[in-house]
Structure 1
Amino acid sequence: MEYLKVEFPGGLRVDAKLRGHTICTDQPKTSGGEDSAPSPFELFLGSIATCAGVFALSFCNNKNISTDGMNISMELENDRITGLVKKVYLNLQLPEGFPKKYESAIIKSMELCSVKKHLQNPPEFEITAN
């Protein structure tokens, strides 16, 4: 069953269509694109952080804790030889007044992110052409 469809609207843009939404991507100007949208790799990294964010938000909502001022920042450590990301650091800035007793629990909830779990147990890929 088709999950999404990728289309090529011009230039180096590549868009994915799913559930009535369009996920637009482009390449940076330094790579020949127009920089009209994030690159696919930037969206991949964003999906890691936003997935963790969904779990942090849900945790706070379940505990009736305000998320005003809460954010997540990401830093990357790259392998000097391969250039690939070697380590991803997610730093959760807790909102003012966040109960100390829940700090480890909210981090554990963020660890439940399905994007992270798929990276830890990657699917097989099969590419075909018609």
Structure 2
Amino acid sequence: MVEMKVSLGDDQKVTARWDGFEVKTDQPVSYGGEGTAPSPFELFLASLATCAAFYVLEFCRTRDIPTEGVSLVERLITSEDGKEDKAIEMEIILPPEFPVKYEKAVVRAAGMCHVKKTILNPPEITLTARRAAG
């Protein structure tokens, strides 16, 4: 089980801590923050993209395919008014020398990302409140 401790900071800042890691978030200036760190939603998008990219990396490593020139671009598609997220597109950029026979397979590998699978098959999320010992 992973347990994160999340603390509230100044202004719009929030920090999550677990296993010796610390992730800071802030809101954009347009939402009242200072823009000093990614927003939680931006971290979600980064989590999805880096997870898919990790699977691409492992796919290449296990086949001794050089990873130079391989990258991933993620795009959030929103409604015209920007109020609704419509789609997330990810595109794997392959260099010209990438083996053609692996193009479809590397896309399938990226699709194995645990973050993507969790979005498509979401766990139950519960929220409760309790008073700290005083």
TM-score over 0.5 (shorter chain): yes
How far apart are the structure 2 equivalents of 1:11 and 1:120?
Answer: 33
Which residue in the other structure is 1:42 paired with?
Answer: 42
Which residue in the other structure is 1:74 paired with?
Answer: 74
How far apart are the structure 1 equivalents of 2:78 and 2:97?
Answer: 35
Of residues 73-82 and 10-19 in structure 1, the stretch that sits farther from structure 2 once superposed is: 73-82
Check conservation: 1:76, 1:85, Cα contact below 8 A.
yes
Of residues 112-121 and 90-99 in structure 1, the stretch that sits farther from structure 2 once superposed is: 90-99
Check conservation: 1:66, 1:95, Cα contact below 8 A.
no
Q: For residue 84 of structure 1, report the CA deviation from its aligned partner.
A: 2.6
Residue 89, structure 1, aligned to residue 86, structure 2: no
Of residues 80-89 and 107-116 in structure 1, the stretch that sits farther from structure 2 once superposed is: 80-89
Which residue in the other structure is 1:61 paired with?
Answer: 61
Give the alignment's TM-score, normalised by structure 1: 0.93
Query: After superposition, where does 1:88-127 map in structure 2 within 5 Å?
Result: 88-127=88-127
Match of 1:10, SS?
coil
- Which segments of 5 or more consecutive residues in structure 1 lack a partner in the other structure? none
Give the alignment's TM-score, normalised by structure 2: 0.90
Check conservation: 1:79, 1:85, Cα contact below 8 A.
yes
Identity among equivalent pairs (%): 41
- The change in CA–CA distance for 1:72 and 1:2 in structure 2 (over 3 A counts) is closer
Please tell me the root mean square deviation across aligned C-alpha atoms, in Å: 1.6
- Which segments of 5 or more consecutive residues in structure 2 lack a partner in the other structure? none
Residue type of the alignment partner of 1:93: I
Size of the aligned set, in residue pairs, is 130
How far apart are the structure 2 equivalents of 1:85 and 1:110?
Answer: 21
